[in-house]
Amino acid sequence: VEFLYCDLASMKSIRQFVQRFRAKNYPLHVLVNNAGVMLVPERKTEDGFEEHFGLNYLGHFLLTNLLLDMLKQSGTHSHNARIITVSSATHYVGKLHLNDLQSRCSYSPHGAYAQSKLALVLFTYRLQHLLTANGSHVTANVVDPGVVNTELYKHVFWVVKVVKWMTAWLFFKTPEEGASTTIYAAVSPEMEGVGGCYLYNEERTKSADVAYDEELQRRLWTESCKMVGISDEASRLP
C-alpha cells in the first residue's frame, strides 16, 4: 500500500497528485471516487467553488478526466478498467441548477449536497456513453452505499446527532458494510464489462428519472469542463 496526498477541494492539488502518480508509471485498473462533505455551512474551496459542488463533484470530475488516458491504457477486452463513483440516495431529491451551480442565489446545505450527488450520477452516465463511443475498455458505474455510520454527519443539527448516536447500531451500516457495494463494483466478475449502472446493496437499481436526461448530462459535462479548465473533447462526439 502506498499513499499519495490529494486534496479533492483543490484543483492544484489534484493536478499535482496526477503528476506524481504518472511519474510512477503504474497501470491504473480501478478508480474509486469517494471523498465528500455533507451539510457544511456556506463556504468556498480555494478555487472559489461552493464546497459541496467543488469537492464532492468537480474534484472527482477533474481527477477522473486527468486519469482517463491511464485507465484506457490499463483496460483490456477481458479485464476492463473500472471507475466507481459514490453518490447517495439524496440524489433522488436533488435538483441541478445549471444557471446557479454554486448556489449563490439561495444557499441550502441540503440542496447543495443533493445537487452534488445528482451531478455525480449524471456525470457517470455521460462518462459511460463517451467511453462506449470511443470503444474504450473502461467502465463507469455509480454506487449508493446506504446510510453509513461515519463522520460525514458531523455538520447535522445536534438533535439529529443524538438520534444517530442512539440508533446507529440499528439503522446505520458500519463502514465495512457501507463499502461492500463499492467493492462489488470494483472487483466482482459479474460487473466485468458492465457500465452505466446505479448500484445499491450490490444490485443494479433505478436512479432518479432526471439522471437519464442525456441533454442535461451533456450540458453539465460541458459546463464542468469550463469550470475546471479542461478541453471538452466530448463535444465532438454524439
Clarify whether 200 is annotated catalytic. no
Secondary element (H or E) of residue 158: helix 158-171
Task: Let me know how long the chain is.
Answer: 238
For 32, residues 6+ apart whose C-beta sits below 8 A from its C-beta are 84, 85, 86, 182, 186
Task: Give DSSP secondary structure letters for 15-60.
Answer: HHHHHHHHHTT----EEEE-----SPPS-B-TTS-BHIIIIIIIHH
5, 57, 92, 113: the active-site residue: 113
Q: 98 in helix, strand or coil?
A: coil
Question: Catalytic residues, which ones?
Answer: 113
